[in-house]
Structure formats: structure tokens, C-alpha cells
């Protein structure tokens, strides 16, 4: 491609969740006057897992104009109000990372600070008692946010079958002109001068030319990693889990509107309820547990009948040092991977797409815009990495794996958050980081991190007033959550409308 040429042909390499999310969004927002071609190989297939999402997925679907009832029906989705963490801080302990806020700030001070000050009073419940999403989750109830507090504070996302989501978006993209080419890419053509990718060559001597290439080829990172040689920053010294075994089992009753993550001796296990089945997976460190042991442990801890053979996956935590190089933008696993503890991969796909659209080139590729894209993506990945490390670092669990993660050095950026919180429980959100103060508070406190002193601003509060406010909130949230339909009833009604 000549440096100043118009972007007329966009080639997306890969038809997993990343490829079809990209095709759907590009066909919706930048498709006019451009050809969008997606190349995928059924013989290679997709990674085939990924069921948990976080609230920004709603924004993505809304921007695409997707009808929620249809989407929920087509992807067999259920609702998600947060994640219950079992045995993470220590054995026989649980906490909830809610979507949405924890209570409401009092005189500008976040409610969790009040909770920290009075947490030892016997009238004060667990922190999750003061979150409307957590209160609804506890009662297996769900509804969209109401117009008035506290129900207006409900935060939600979905559990869905990522393969079905990909196929749903394929229909969406194809209806808007995106073309699909089936076949295995065997070589890549590059411009002799600029080094830009000019075409991908498929088996059977077929050639697909393009001006801009989006690499959604999965862990292999065919264009960005293999062809352009953009290095992979390995984070496995902070996140040593490198294997997963996934398996579906029969649907559970009642249908819980949350993910459960249970700590295991060398990692953790997920439980994700969908409409028709429950997804389960064991994420573990192969340096600390054998595959046979990991599989046995997973199968011994299913809530229902096993419905299919296990699916074994290998991965490494980290990201490419740049997501956009030359005329190749990598999105999804081709750009990086963080284990699914906080369900952030599909969100990082969404971020990659939104930033690409926000910086979409008109004539040629502008190096300033490309550099900005890379800066924004680095700023997206790194704080999520820190947030995930937090779960491993702040624990009292023991055993070879947990001793290792509890004692490992952590990134300076995370150490700063720990140090700051350790003084007066203060948390700030930096730049455009994904997880906001209530999420950090829920997990830091959930993992039993406590500050040395309480927030000084609260000194002007009388104990009676503070405890009264907490009690009033707790009662109000419990009652409001109890007024909602059950999760199963809400879903059944919604799907019937589709
Ligand atoms: P893939 O699904 O691997 O797709 C790659 C595509 O490239 C395929 O279509 C393949 O055919 C094509 N391809 C590759 N090479 C070639 C070639 N030579 N020629 C032609 N085509 C080619 N994310 C979440 O958000 N929530 C979760 O709960 C979650 N859980 C996960 C659990 C595990 C254990 C793992 C490993 C991941 C999880 N993820 C989760 C991540 C999620 O699965 C991925 O982010 C998502 O599926 C996107 O994958 P992808 O499209 O980038 O890659």
C-alpha cells in the first residue's frame, strides 16, 4: 500500500469472537465505500471458550443496534451481576465482586470507607451487603436497572456462548456487506519497501489483497507476531497459570446470575451458568499441577452431569508490545491474553475495535494515530493485568503455588496501589483504566487487605449516625432486591418476547 493511499480493502484474518466482533463493528461504522473481507479456516477452528463478560459489552451491543432479547435468545445468554470468589483470601471464605457501585458516597467519601471504619461492629454485614447488584445476586434475582435508587444502581453483563455470539455477529456483518472467505492462509505478501502486508495467500493459490489488515488469528498472531515480529511481553512471572481445562455440565437450579470462581491448589475453577448448560473450567499452573490431576479435580467438582469431553488449552499471559504495526492491527488473542479471572478478554477485543474506529485512517496510515492507538491499548491492558495479579498476591492461602504468588514481586504500578490503600484505604482511578474504585475496593477488601487507619474525613461522623446509615442501606437493598423477579423468570419472559 502506498503511504497516502485510501483504505479501501480491509482484510480481517480469523473468524473467532475477535474476528466477527471486528467485522460487525467495522461494517457498521466504516463499511461505506470499503470492502471488508474476513478469512477463516474451519480446519484450524477457534479457541472455543469464553463465556463471561463485563458491563461495557452492553455499550458495544447498543452501538451496533442489537436487540437484547434476540441476542439473549441466540447466544443462550444469562445475566451476570458479578463474580463470587470462594476460598481466595483463605479457605472457607467468600466475597463478591459486584458490578456497579457499593452504596453511595457520603459527603464525597466512598461508602466502602465507612464500612472499613465500622467493619468490626457486629451490626455491620459483609461489604457486599451494601451493593444492590450483590443483594440481587444473593437472592438469585434480576432485572434491568430501575429508574430510582437503589435499583438504578444495578450493574450487569452476560454469560453467553462466545461461539454463538461470534456466529450471531457473523450474520450481522454479512447482512452489512462483509464477505467471508474460507481457507487456510499459507503465506503473507509484503511490500518490499515499506514492509507493509499487501496480501494473504490461501491454500489453492487464492490471494486476498488489502490496504489494512486486522489480525484476529488467535494465539498464533499470524500477521503481527509471526510475520511482523512484534515481540511478546511475557507476564507469566506474575500470572503463572498457563493451562485450562473446560467442560460443560447440566444446567443448575436455581439459575444464578453470577459467575463463581473457586480457588484450587494450583489455580482456580470457574462456574458459569447459561440457559441450557453450565460452563466449567479449571485454570492452573502446569509448573504446580499435572494435567491428569487438574482434570480429575475439575470433574470431581461439577454441579451437574458432564455433557461433553474436556477441552484442554494452553496459553501464556502477556501482550504484544505494540498492537498496531505497519498496516496490521491485532485484536483479540493475537494482541495478548490475560487469564479469564475477571472476564476481560472480550472486553479488550471491544476496546481494540472502539479505538481502531476512533483512530480510523482515511488516507494512508498516520504514524501519530498509530502510536496513539498503541498507547491507548497499553493503557488498557496493563491496569487489568495489575487487577488480576491482586487476587493472587493478597491471599493467606498456602501451598507451593499460593506461596509462590503470595511472595512474588509485583509491578510498581500495583505496589503503589497497595501502599496507598494500606495507609487510609484510598483508591484512585488512573487514566481510562477499566476497573473503577468499587471494583478495586471489593477485591482488595475481599482479599482481606485493610488499611492502617480510617479515612480522617469520617472523624466528624458520630458512630450512631454512621451505623444508622449502614443499617438503613442494608435493609433498603435487601428489600429492593427482593422485589425483583427471579433470574430464571426474567430470562424466560425476555426470550419469549424475542
Ligand atoms: P480464536 O478464537 O483462536 O480465533 C482465531 C481465528 O483465526 C480462527 O477463526 C482461526 O480459524 C483463524 N486462523 C488462525 N490461523 C489461520 C490461518 N493460517 N488461516 C486462516 N485462518 C486462521 N474471554 C472472555 O471475555 N471471557 C471469558 O470468560 C473467557 N474465558 C476464557 C477461558 C479460557 C481458558 C481461554 C483460553 C480464553 C478465554 N477467554 C475469555 C478469551 C476468549 O476465548 C477469546 O478472547 C475470544 O474467544 C477471542 O478469540 P480470538 O477470536 O482472538 O481467537
What whole-number percentage of the chain has pLDDT above 70?
A: 99
Check if the beta carbon of residue 138 is closer than 8 Å to that of residue 44. Answer: no
For ligand 1, atom 47: residue with the closest CA:
17
How many angstroms is it from 427 CA to the middle of ligand 1? 33
How many angstroms is it from 383 CA to the middle of ligand 1? 22
Instruction: For ligand 1, say whether the CB of 14 is within 6 Å of any of its atoms.
Output: yes
Is 126's pLDDT higher than 90? yes
Query: Residue 105's pLDDT band (boundaries 50, 70, 90)?
Result: confident
Instruction: For ligand 1, say whether the CB of 333 is within 6 Å of any of its atoms.
Output: yes
Q: Find how far residue 32's CA is from the centre of its chain.
A: 30
pLDDT tens across 45-104, in order? 999 887 999 999 999 999 999 999 999 999 999 999 999 999 999 999 999 999 999 998
Is 400's pLDDT higher than 90? yes
Query: Residue 1's pLDDT band (boundaries 50, 70, 90)?
Result: very low
How many angstroms is it from 481 CA to the middle of ligand 1? 36
Q: Find how far residue 24's CA is from the centre of its chain.
A: 19
Confidence at residue 181, expressed as pLDDT on a 0 to 100 scale: 98
HSE toward the beta carbon, residue 8, CA cutoff 13 A: 6
Rounded distance, CA 494 to CA 488, Å?
10
Confidence at residue 108, expressed as pLDDT on a 0 to 100 scale: 85
Instruction: For ligand 1, say whether the CB of 222 is within 6 Å of any of its atoms.
Output: yes
Helix axis angle for 345-358 and 17-29, nearest 10°, is: 30
For residue 315, the ligand 1 atom closest to its alpha carbon is 36
Is 3's pLDDT higher than 70? no
Instruction: For ligand 1, say whether the CB of 217 is within 6 Å of any of its atoms.
Output: yes
Rounded distance, CA 95 to CA 82, Å?
11
Substitution candidate for ligand 1 out of 46, 170, 187, 214 with most atoms within 8 A of CB: 46
pLDDT tens across 215-262, in order? 999 999 999 999 999 999 999 999 999 999 999 999 988 999 999 999
Confidence at residue 4, expressed as pLDDT on a 0 to 100 scale: 58
How many angstroms is it from 19 CA to the middle of ligand 1? 9
Instruction: For ligand 1, say whether the CB of 16 is within 6 Å of any of its atoms.
Output: yes
475 to each of 56, 125, 479, how far by Cα in Å?
29, 11, 6
In sequence order, what are the beta bridge partners of 260?
A: 84, 271
pLDDT tens across 321-348, in order? 999 999 999 999 999 999 999 999 999 9
Is 431's pLDDT higher than 90? no
Beta carbons within 8 Å of 250's beta carbon, 6+ residues apart: 277, 278, 304, 305, 307
381 to each of 26, 50, 82, how far by Cα in Å?
22, 18, 20
For residue 19, the ligand 1 atom closest to its alpha carbon is 51
Q: E-strand spans in 6-153?
A: 9-13, 35-40, 78-80, 82-86, 94-98
DSSP-assigned letter for residue 39: E
Strand ranges across the sheet with 212-215: 179-182, 35-40, 9-13, 212-215, 328-330, 324-325
Locate cell 490461501: which residue? Answer: 202
Catalytic residues: 80
Instruction: For ligand 1, say whether the CB of 335 is within 6 Å of any of its atoms.
Output: no
Is 372's pLDDT higher than 70? yes
Rounded distance, CA 219 to CA 332, Å?
9
Q: Give the pLDDT mean for 93-117.
A: 94
Confidence at residue 2, expressed as pLDDT on a 0 to 100 scale: 41
Substitution candidate for ligand 1 out of 50, 245, 261, 342 with most atoms within 8 A of CB: 50
Rounded distance, CA 241 to CA 52, Å?
18
How many angstroms is it from 216 CA to the middle of ligand 1? 8
Q: Give the pLDDT mean for 401-414.
A: 98
How many angstroms is it from 14 CA to the middle of ligand 1? 9
The conformational region for residue 255 under phi > 0 = left, psi -120 to 50 = alpha, else beta, is: beta
Instruction: For ligand 1, say whether the CB of 19 is within 6 Å of any of its atoms.
Output: yes
Q: Give the pLDDT mean for 300-319.
A: 97
Instruction: For ligand 1, say whether the CB of 332 is within 6 Å of any of its atoms.
Output: yes
Rounded distance, CA 14 to CA 221, Å?
10
Locate cell 454485614: which residue? Answer: 125
Instruction: For ligand 1, say whether the CB of 315 is within 6 Å of any of its atoms.
Output: yes
DSSP per-residue string spanning 466-491: HHHHHHHHHHHHHHHHHTSPBHHHHH
Is 419's pLDDT higher than 60? yes
How many angstroms is it from 17 CA to the middle of ligand 1? 6
Amino acid at each position: 500500500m502506498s503511504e497516502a493511499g485510501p483504505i479501501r480493502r480491509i482484510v480481517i484474518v480469523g473468524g473467532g469472537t475477535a474476528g466477527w466482533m471486528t467485522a460487525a463493528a467495522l461494517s457498521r461504522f466504516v463499511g461505506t465505500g470499503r470492502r471488508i473481507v474476513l478469512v477463516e479456516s474451519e480446519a484450524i477452528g477457534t479457541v472455543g471458550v469464553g463465556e463471561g463478560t463485563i458491563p461495557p459489552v452492553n455499550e458495544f451491543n447498543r452501538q451496533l443496534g442489537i436487540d437484547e432479547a434476540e441476542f439473549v435468545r441466540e447466544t443462550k445468554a444469562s445475566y451476570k451481576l458479578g463474580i463470587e470468589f470462594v476460598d481466595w483470601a483463605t479457605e472457607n471464605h467468600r466475597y463478591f465482586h459486584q458490578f456497579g457501585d457499593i452504596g453511595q458516597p457520603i459527603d464525597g467519601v466512598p461508602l466502602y470507607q465507612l464500612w472499613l471504619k465500622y467493619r468490626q461492629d457486629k451490626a455491620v454485614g459483609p461489604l457486599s451487603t451494601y451493593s444492590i447488584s450483590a443483594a440481587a445476586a444473593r437472592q438469585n434475582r434480576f432485572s434491568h436497572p430501575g429508574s430510582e435508587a437503589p435499583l438504578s444502581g444495578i450493574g450487569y453483563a452476560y454469560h453467553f456462548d462466545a461461539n454463538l455470539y461470534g456466529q450471531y455477529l457473523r450474520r450481522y456483518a454479512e447482512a452489512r456487506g462483509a464477505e467471508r472467505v474460507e481457507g487456510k492462509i499459507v503465506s503473507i505478501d509484503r511490500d518490499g519497501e515499506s514492509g507493509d502486508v499487501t496480501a494473504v495467500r490461501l491454500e489453492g493459490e487464492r490471494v486476498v489483497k488489502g490496504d489494512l489488515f486486522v489480525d484476529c488469528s488467535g494465539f498464533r498472531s499470524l500477521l503481527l507476531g509471526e510475520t511482523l515480529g512484534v515481540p511478546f511481553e511475557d507476564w507469566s512471572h506474575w500470572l503463572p497459570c498457563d493451562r485450562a481445562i473446560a467442560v460443560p455440565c447440566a444446567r443448575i437450579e436455581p439459575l444464578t446470575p453470577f459467575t463463581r470462581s473457586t480457588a484450587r491448589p494450583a489455580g482456580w475453577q470457574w462456574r458459569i451458568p447459561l440457559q441450557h448448560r453450565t460452563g466449567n473450567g479449571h485454570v492452573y499452573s502446569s509448573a504446580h499441577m499435572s494435567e491428569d490431576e487438574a482434570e480429575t479435580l475439575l470433574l470431581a467438582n461439577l454441579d451437574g452431569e458432564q455433557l461433553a469431553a474436556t477441552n484442554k488449552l494452553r496459553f501464556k499471559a502477556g501482550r504484544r508490545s505494540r498492537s498496531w504495526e505497519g498496516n496490521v492491527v491485532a485484536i483479540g488473542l493475537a494482541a495478548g491474553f490475560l487469564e479469564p479471572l475477571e472476564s476481560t478478554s472480550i472486553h479488550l477485543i471491544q476496546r481494540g475495535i472502539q479505538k481502531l474506529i476512533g483512530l480510523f485512517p482515511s488516507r494512508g496510515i498516520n504514524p501519530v494515530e498509530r502510536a496513539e492507538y498503541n498507547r491507548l491499548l497499553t493503557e488498557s491492558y496493563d491496569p487489568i493485568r495489575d487487577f488480576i495479579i491482586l487476587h493472587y498476591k493478597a491471599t493467606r492461602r498456602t501451598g507451593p503455588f499460593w506461596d509462590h504468588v503470595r511472595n512474588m514481586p509485583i509491578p510498581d504500578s500495583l505496589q503503589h496501589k497497595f501502599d496507598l490503600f494500606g495507609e487510609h484505604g484510598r483508591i484512585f482511578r488512573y487514566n481510562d483504566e477499566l476497573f473503577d474504585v468499587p471494583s478495586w475496593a471489593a477485591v482488595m477488601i475481599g482479599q482481606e487487605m485493610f488499611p492502617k487507619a480510617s479515612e480522617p474525613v469520617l472523624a466528624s461522623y458520630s458512630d450512631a449516625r454512621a451505623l444508622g446509615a449502614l443499617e438503613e442501606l442494608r435493609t433498603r437493598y435487601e428489600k429492593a432486591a427482593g422485589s425483583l423477579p427471579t433470574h430464571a423468570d426474567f430470562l424466560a419472559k425476555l426470550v419469549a418476547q424475542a
